[in-house]
Amino acid sequence: MKVLASALSASILLLASIPSAVAFKPGDFKTCSQSGFCRRGRALASRAKDNAKTWHSPYSVDPQSLSLASDRASLTAPVKSELYPDINFNLEVRVHEDGVVRVRMDEVDGLRKRYDEAAKWALVAEPSISTHTQWKVGSSGARAVFGQQREHEVVVEFKPLRVVLNKNGKEQVVVNGRGLLHMEHFRNKTVEEPKVEISEEGSDTQEVFKVNPNAWFEGDSEDAYWEETFNSWTDSKPKGPESLSLDIDFPRHGHVYGIPQRATSLDLPTTTGEDPFFEDPYRFYNADVFEYLASGTTSLYGSVPVMHAHSADSTVAIFNAVGSETWIDIAHPTTQSTGTHWISESGILDLFILPGPSPTEVFRQYSGLTGVAPLPAHWALGYHQCRWNYVSSDDVRGVQKRFDEEDMPFDVLWLDIEYSKDHQYMIWNQKTFPDPVEMTKDVAALGRKMVVIVDPHLKRTDDYPVYKQAQELGILVKQKNGQDDYEGWCWPGSSSWVDFFNPASWDFWRSLFKTTKGSGWSWTESTEDIHIWNDMNEPSVFNGPEITMPKDLIHYGNWEHRDIHNINGMFLPKITSEGLVVRGETPKRPFVLTRSFFAGSQRYGAMWTGDNLGTWEHMAVGIKMVLANGIAGMTFGGSDVGGFFGNPESEMLVRWYWVGAFSPFFRAHAHLDSKRREPYLLAEPHKSTVRNILRLRYSLLPVWYTAFRETSVTGLPVLRPHYVMFPQDEAGFSIDDQFYVGSSGLLVKPVTRPGVTEETVYLPEDKIYYDYFTYHTYRASAKGHVVVPAALDQMPLLVRGGSIIPTRERPRRASSLMHRDPFTLRIALDSSLTARGELYLDDGVTYAYKQGHLTWRGLSVSVDKKTSRGVAAELRLSNVDLAVAAPRAAVEGDALVEFRPENPFQTGIGSVRVERVVILGLGGKPKRVAVEGGRDLEWEFELGVAAGARGDSDGVASVLTIKDPSLGVASDWAIRISL
């Protein structure tokens, strides 16, 4: 224990030596006024506003030199700036097969090359160009019409340059409409000319100043063109100014969402214009922000430059493929419009305009560009238990034992940095973890997994094989001279970082996860039951500017770190996940958690919201952040239950477990200075409440897994905010404290305030909802709100009428032990006495589902017979095979051409049955319940409120319980209910 205490003391001393790592300090991170290119961009916008009557964009297209591709769906044209006539730019506008419009502009034949690879890393594949769209060119502009009803039109206006997306003749997205486009060209640094003194006989001496003819647009000073200092760091800026300013406006959309990651409302507040909510723009600059504020524009750990713009009429979106530091101003010129201004430090203009016109279509279009979140391992949707740190292998075994003694399910135990020797990741501390393989096997023997942290910083010591091999391969990030390896400071002390932009690093990193000995070093003291947590990958550098790398470091391809900073974090989880897939004989789905991410990172694993605090405010904003991340593709996310920092009181911790149980990623985590707060340590009644919450999560795993299948095919987020579910309901466009779980019909309203015994829930439609636990019925009032009980052992969880919820109710210690368990179907009838739902199952571990080894069922209730007066006389509950009818829609990527019902998985679960059916909302006692074409079934009925009751009928719904119909969940069948 002395060794352990010494190791922990060393970590605490290291923390104490880094002032910015103790708590959030605004002075550690730039504001716009401290960033030269952001100052220049905002000053440009101010000049445009102050001179609105005469302001114009200096950029124009030469129509004489415009060219069209042979398929006529791509337009290319030279662009000139009246500011610098000798500088050449090129514009390309393409219409993709799915209607997305791509706008690219780059400097041509400049002194240097602008970074143009952001889209290369973000896109899942090069998009297909439309084969049925053609441009028509006129004297003032070019236009192309597209869409199923030819409702969309993209227009390129020549002078000044302006790009517009129209729908039915009305502007939806306008690029450079306010003339803020400015691509600072590469130039040589000029020596300041001395002032010239002119004197004439009989006159006073005069100083003649050289007038800058471009000052009306660029300003009259070279603000931070060639060097910039922040705190004690100086950025050398060897390439000079190269920023990109761009205004993107949404004239008919008054709400914008997305651009994570930051802690703020889902409906993004304003940063400029009249009475802005925030003073500083939103910032994209991935950073290690300890104890971040619960409300602000500060950039956190990830950057996804995608923004939805929404109104009751339509949804559009833009994806701005840029990897450098970027600031975004948002204003609402009217309540029905939005103006945005994007200011990036470097890179080309590479803008994707997503025409929608619905949220569903926008998600389809964006996932078509950057990919979907793949179907995760089933166990990854269970409960994860973590803290900094479980201190020994005995500690790990003890935690597992206590969970089992208290009948609390969990699936994953996590190890933070202290498992490793001197923070040399993948090298176990043999004094505290002498038997890592046996320890992991002990965890796996009970159906569980482990996740172990592997950070990107490598301790610079020759006895660390990972560092030594990386150094010998020449794949480490370089100093600004491009030759010497960069040395920074992180948890191990002196550290270097693998440059994952270098393709030579990929096979090297993948090979590290082999559990059997090969030609090079690999993690042989590991097993396939260990998965990986990638933290600190912004990257975090304790002694660097803004706690990250200097911008003038050099990466593969001779790109500066400033060009790729926000992309950097996506590579570690990408290559790590690929390494986990290939480490064994049979490829298995990996689990990798990342803190830093970029557009497209959803393809590689889960994310979490970082180092939050144990406060009510952080609990609340965590929900908003998870929703915003989901909008940007990062749907497999969550915030740490209990908060990373602090010691939450029991009430807060219980409420946070409710929040976590309805997050896609469900993990409890705590700082090493926090008291132990595993749920079994709670006093009663809180311990029993959390046990019930955990069991609820496990009973609903079929719902979560089915939702993830849909996400992996459609790109729709697992957690769906109100505007996604009800895109025409203006009253709900700003709601971000309640949400729906996939298409299941579950409406969740977590409680994030102390002392609450009831909560208000917004119901957007004239439809019956049922309390999941009590079956109490709710219908929207005139104002759309209902009050729901919410004592500490409760949470507002409603089932939308017309839904079928499949669950597994038998308590198990881990999800892997549930695969043969029977199902319960909860059927919430709507007013027409119908309902539908889905159930998706596969082995939960391998990729066999891509070969069709799966079950995808459609459950529905329909009115099969009516009386002469049109009243329902018989209902039919059916279970049909959806994969047979639509194999291409079953799994991601159109992988299945055809589906065989007799596939090994589906036949292997032939004995898994439905053991109970609960139908809510019948108007009266049935006359008969029987299997179609077969036996009568045992059932009981309790009279209550009917789904079809008119008005504000209140009370508990009627309940029909069908007892053990013993029908196979993977078989076609029907039950008839005679009324």
Query: Which residues are designated catalytic?
Result: 535, 538, 611
Please answer whether residues 638 and 663 qualify as being in contact, where contact means their C-beta atoms are separated by less than 8 angstroms.
yes
Partner residues linked to 496 by β-bridges: 458
Partner residues linked to 196 by β-bridges: 208
Measure CA 918 to chain center: 35
| Residue 331: φ, ψ to 5° | -140, 155
Residue 560 CA to residue 143 CA, distance in Å, equals: 37
Length of the chain: 979
Q: What is the 3-state secondary structure (H, E, C) of 813-837?
A: CCHHHCCCCCEEEEEECCCCCCEEE
User: What are the CA-CA distances from residue 682 to residues 395, 442, 675 (Å)?
Assistant: 18, 25, 12
Residue 416 CA to residue 670 CA, distance in Å, equals: 10
Closest CA to 341 of 160, 177, 107: 177
Please list, in sequence order, all residues whose beta carbon lies within 8 angstroms of the beta carbon of residue 620, skipping any fewer than 6 positions away: 294, 737, 752, 753
Strands (E), 83-138: 88-95, 101-108, 135-137
The two tokens of residue 811 are 């308590």
Closest CA to 115 of 345, 284, 318: 345
| Residue 237: φ, ψ to 5° | 45, 60
Please answer whether residues 269 and 259 qualify as being in contact, where contact means their C-beta atoms are separated by less than 8 angstroms.
no
User: What are the CA-CA distances from residue 875 to residues 866, 871, 932, 950, 956 (Å)?
Assistant: 9, 11, 11, 20, 21
Residue 673 CA to residue 292 CA, distance in Å, equals: 18
Closest CA to 969 of 855, 810, 844, 854: 855
Contacts 24+ apart (CB under 8 A), 226-231: 226/189, 228/35, 228/36, 230/30, 230/34, 230/545, 230/546, 231/27, 231/28, 231/545
DSSP secondary structure, 717-750, as one string: -SEE-HHHH-TT-GGGTT--S-EEETTTTEEE--
Strands (E), 297-419: 302-303, 306-310, 315-320, 326-331, 338-344, 349-354, 383-385, 412-415
